[in-house]
Structure 1
Amino acid sequence: MTPQYSFQLVQTRDTYLAYLRLRRATFCDEQGLFKTTDEDDWDASAFPIAAVLRGAPGGEEVVGTVRIYEAEPGLWYGGRLAVERAHRKQGVVGRGLVHKAVTSAHGWGCQRFLALVQAANVAFFESIHWRSLEERSFRDRPHHLMEADLASYPPSDEPRPPPGQRFR
């Protein structure tokens, strides 16, 4: 049986807390990129997106995360893409999160969508219509600044949430 995933803007405090737990487990505990939290100033204006596994024991489970934010008018960034280890191999969750992120931003006026991608994930992003602009180091690890081909990501018609909608 194929798992049922939904990719959605985070709308409740419980989902937001699960989103933060998965980010922390991935970027702090597993990868050691950060000590106690990966949260930063961009989180205050970012739109969190979660991959939710339906039919998980207890109802629904957050198995993937990404955030998007507008750094300046028309210039959007995606970041903190994390997928729970048990859901990584098939690529469905990562692709779904990236698609939701870029199409949402595109529908909200994005003219350019960038992300700082760990070097090990560059081939994955290239396979889903991204290109590397340059190599960079982030927290002493190799990364690439990458750009999405917006022509491959039609704009979503989902309304942009009002400013200040936070789940803290």
Structure 2
Amino acid sequence: MAKMAPDQIAERLDAFETRCRQLGLPLTTQRHAVLRAVLEHHDHPTADQVLETVRDRVPGISRTTVYRALDTLVALGFVRRLHHAGPSARFDGQTHRHHHLICDKCHKVIDLQDESLDRLHISEVHAEGFQIEDFSVHFMGICRACRRSEPS
């Protein structure tokens, strides 16, 4: 994931605060810190990685609180959950449509912007009468670093 600029992070945090007020949802220090941690990460963190980052800002925060905050952020559309990125779900602060390259060995997730993937035409979907609202494509393989570390 490309690193988000500080002004982009501030805009997303402001939008989150506004949305919480609109919904009457308490804007807790924990939720704010979890969202900031995901937005500042550029490597699609796991919940445990988010927890480690947030512990510096919110001492005593529990794993359960981080998981609940992530669930809320996903439900509100401020964070995306990636299910196909290894043994643990990963979280992505970039919520616009984009795709991913996922390493089968180290589970690294790399963002992929390719407009041709955004125009996929799948005739079976139309035949079933299914209306696609959003999608992302995940390519599984071996990243450059893992390929370099393999014996020749």
Q: Could you state the TM-score of these two structures normalised by the residue count of structure 1?
A: 0.29
Higher strand proportion: 1
Higher helix proportion: 2
Q: Could you state the TM-score of these two structures normalised by the residue count of structure 2?
A: 0.32
